[in-house]
Amino acid sequence: MRKITMVKKLLASGEPCAKCVQAQELLERRGLWDRIDEVVWAKEGDASSPGAQLAERYQVELAPFFVITDPGQPDRVLTSTLKLVQELGAAAGSAGNGAAAGPPPELSEAELREAQAQLASAPPAEILSWALRRYGARCGIAFSGAEDVVLIDLAARSGLPYSVFCLDTGRLHEETYRFLDRVRAFYGVELQIMTPQPEPLQALVRKKGLFSFFEDGHGECCGIRKVEPLKRALAPLYAWASGQRRDQSPTRTDVAVLELDKSFSGAGGKLLKLNPLAAWTSAQVWEYIRREKVPYNSLHDHGFISIGCQPCTRPIRPGEHERAARWWWEDATQRECGLHVKKA
């Protein structure tokens, strides 16, 4: 039977090394800690400690590291916790964006209505878990680099397969790019980064320049940089989850917890859309982020609430609604980018 040994370093002070603590936390967040069969300590300055002996035997210089023994196979050593997470996740069918085995059974109208009733006032973790149990990594979490990181945290804690995609418009703040990378490392999750198709983007920029949205509205630019990449991201999925909330703007007051997405289609033609945070307020989201020590975009510390592309986002002023931060030069009822269009 396969055995995984984790070698951790104990400092001379008696404390475990910080990297080893972080590695264990990552495995716990991903629900993989119980896959570690044995923990062995390498004591600082003690070459005879069991961990130091393993380090010597496998010629490894840094802790933590993992020794994987499979009967009849040579031992393998992994020095990257992320690699271990990916390997264990792949074996469990939860490797980032990996496809689930075969299509899931189709959800009938009656089943959808039943699920809608059951989940209408359920906690976000339960709503998301319902979709992940049914669709696994074929339920994609749309991560925009803002507070919707809560969804990734809930998915990681569920121990269920999940996948995450992001729309990289090419116009995000540097802070957002750094945040995406931090989330990738923190959760050991593969982010599927979707970028715009070059031809239409080049044609737009050639014809109208880089700031045409200030002149004739954001629709055309968002269509190329966001909506088309979103369509490609959704095409192989059966469901997707977004961080939309009803309290975000006048355009989102009727956001449903679970609905059939009539604007986009997925792998089976039909596509389900989940908004597990629909009933949460901004205060609840932030209470969760602080309580669970979830990473967040550093722009939030500088007055930014709703974060999108750099040219089209600004910090908000006291008393302003959070979506006032986006496309502020346009009418408040038009401030959606086409990702969450509702069709009757």
Among 78, 257, 309, 316, which residue interacts with ligand SF4 (rule: CB under 6 A)?
A: 309
Site string for ligand SF4, 289-308 (x = CB under 6 A): -------------------x
Cα 329 to Cα 322: distance, rounded to the nearest angstrom: 14
* Structure-derived torsion over alpha carbons of residues 230, 169, 224, 103, reported in degrees to the nearest 10: -10
- Contacting ligand SF4 within 203-232 (CB under 6 A): 213, 218, 221-222, 225-226
Among 311, 324, 328, 339, which residue interacts with ligand SF4 (rule: CB under 6 A)?
A: 311
337 catalytically annotated: yes
Q: What are phi and psi of 211, to 5 degrees?
A: -130, 35
Confirm or reject binding of residue 337 to ligand SF4 (CB under 6 A): yes
CA distances from 333 to 55, 113, 280 (A): 61, 29, 21
Cβ at position 263, least distance to ligand SF4 in Å: 17
Residue nearest to ligand SF4 (CB): 309
Burial of 53 (0-12, 13-18, 19+ CB in 10 A): middle
Joined tokens for residue 232:
């490609």
Cα 320 to Cα 178: distance, rounded to the nearest angstrom: 27
Confirm or reject binding of residue 4 to ligand SF4 (CB under 6 A): no
Cα 18 to Cα 203: distance, rounded to the nearest angstrom: 50
Cβ at position 310, least distance to ligand SF4 in Å: 7
Based on CB atoms, which residue is closest to ligand SF4, 4 or 312?
Answer: 312
Cα 324 to Cα 159: distance, rounded to the nearest angstrom: 37
Cβ at position 344, least distance to ligand SF4 in Å: 25
CA distances from 203 to 200, 206, 284 (A): 5, 5, 43
Based on CB atoms, which residue is closest to ligand SF4, 30 or 218?
Answer: 218
Site string for ligand SF4, 83-122 (x = CB under 6 A): ----------------------------------------
Among 139, 166, 312, 316, which residue interacts with ligand SF4 (rule: CB under 6 A)?
A: 312
**Bridge partners of residue 240, in order along the sequence:** 140, 273
| Catalytic residue list | 337
Binding region for ligand SF4 (CB under 6 A):
169, 171, 213, 218, 221-222, 225-226, 308-309, 311-312, 337
